Amino acid sequence: KGETKELTVWSAEEAKRFLDAIAEERLVGLWTLALHTGLRRGELAGLRWRDVDLDAGTLTVAQQRTTANYTVVITTPKAKSQRQLLLAPATVAALRGHLQRQRKERMALGPDWTDSGYVFVDEAGVEIHPQRFTKLFDEVLKRTGAPKIRLHDLRHTMASLALEAGVHPKVVQEQLGHSAIAVTLDTYSHVPQAVRRDSADKIATLFGE
């Protein structure tokens, strides 16, 4: 397969500054969810409200909306990619805020609102084209002055920071929907030397060193 491509990710501080900067953005719920969960673009685009249980704090990845020559294609994720995620309180709060904003937009438009059932829609309720997600992300980066990365790099950022924080690779694998833990370990082999050193020190303390 050749050499593993070096990933571009944000540091924890850069990610925090980005979330602070988008607090008043209309799609703050989208970017928060992407960064907190590492969902793929197609999974974000295909997410429906019926796939989200805010009371239970869960989200089910049941479908994805991708494109083929700009034509939207709705598919069922592969076995490992079909998963249920447990959402952090901050993620649930961001989605609740997004739902409240969406309800206000719906009330304002009345019968002109399109009830698509998708979580991320435009001001008229129409689902957002998957490729539009990328453009919207590039635009929010310019407005906030955040370091330039790709939308997909939010996924890499979440995984990298999780591993650096000591989250077990198996948990990260399941969160990302990777087919095998080897994929996760190969993809994120760049975890800093300091993290590996910390692990070595922890192992040594088990033997009283």
Say what the pLDDT of residue 141 is: 97
Q: How do the pLDDT tens digits run along the chain, 209 residues long?
A: 444 567 899 999 999 999 999 999 999 999 999 999 999 999 999 999 999 999 999 999 999 999 999 999 999 987 778 999 999 999 999 999 999 999 999 999 999 999 999 999 999 999 999 999 999 999 999 999 999 999 999 999 999 999 988 888 899 999 999 999 999 988 988 775 556 667 777 777 888 76
pLDDT for res 105: 97
Which pLDDT does position 55 carry in this prediction?
A: 98
Q: Is residue 127 a contact partner of residue 118, using CB atoms and an 8 Å limit?
A: yes
CA dihedral 127, 55, 107, 112 (to 10 degrees): 30
Under a CB-based contact definition with an 8 Å cutoff, are residues 127 and 46 in contact?
A: no
Which pLDDT does position 192 carry in this prediction?
58
Residues 6+ apart with CB under 8 A from 173: 180, 181, 183, 184
Structure tokens that stand for 100 in this block? 């409240």
Sign of CA dihedral 25, 29, 33, 36: positive
